[in-house]
Structure 1
Amino acid sequence: MQHSDAELLAFDKSAHEDWDEERAQEALNSEDGKLYRNHLHIAMHLSQWAERETERTKGDDTDELRTTGFVHALEEVAAHLRQADYLPGSDFLGPV
């Protein structure tokens, strides 16, 4: 499914401490724009997954506690994908 750039960037940016709109636009317009759009699509999927997990485990104390860490991890990876941290040449990745 194809999403417009506006759809891919339609998320709560206030939850992203390091969000930089200019950096996102530069990434979209760069030679890695296709890869970045793929990252945004993956981030969208991870966020939806986190929401489903949160809803699924409501009211189950044991599952809720375990899920809290899992959901946090999904949200962190989604944030890094959205912030272009995993694009080639990013300082975030460093040497592999």
Structure 2
Amino acid sequence: MHHSDAELLNFDASVLADWDEEQAQAVLNGEARALYRNHLHIAMHLDQWAQRLSQQDVDDIDAPRMDGFKQALEEVAAHLRRTDYMPRGSLLRPV
């Protein structure tokens, strides 16, 4: 499904540490724009997945595990949006 840039950037940036809208726009308009658009689309999917998890009934034993899983999905989505996984991104440096 095709999403406009406005749709892909329609998220609560206030929950993202170190969000830099100018950097995001520069990447979105640069050579790697197709890759970044893909990352934004994946981030949108991960957010939807996390929302669905929030709506599920979970017993008390599984609740902490599911909360952790939801948090992990949200964190990966945040890294994708912040361009951390783009070429020369902060998380693609040698480990």
TM bracket, shorter-chain basis? over 0.9
User: With structure 2 as the length reference, what TM-score do the two structures score?
Assistant: 0.93
- Range moving further from structure 2, 64-73 or 37-46: 64-73
Larger proportion of helix: 1
* Alignment partner, residue 84 of structure 2: 85
Deviation readout 1:59-92 (Å, 9 max, x if unpaired)? x212221111000100000000000110011233
1:14-25 to structure 2, matched below 5 A, reads: 14-25=14-25
Deviation readout 1:10-57 (Å, 9 max, x if unpaired)? 001111011110010011011000000000000000000001011113
Distance 2:17 2:57 in 1: 27
Percent of residue pairs bearing the same amino acid type: 62
Distance 2:4 2:57 in 1: 32
- Structure 2 unaligned regions, length at least 5: none
Q: CA deviation at 1:93?
A: 1.5
Distance 2:71 2:55 in 1: 14
Please tell me the root mean square deviation across aligned C-alpha atoms, in Å.
1.2
- Structure 1 unaligned regions, length at least 5: none
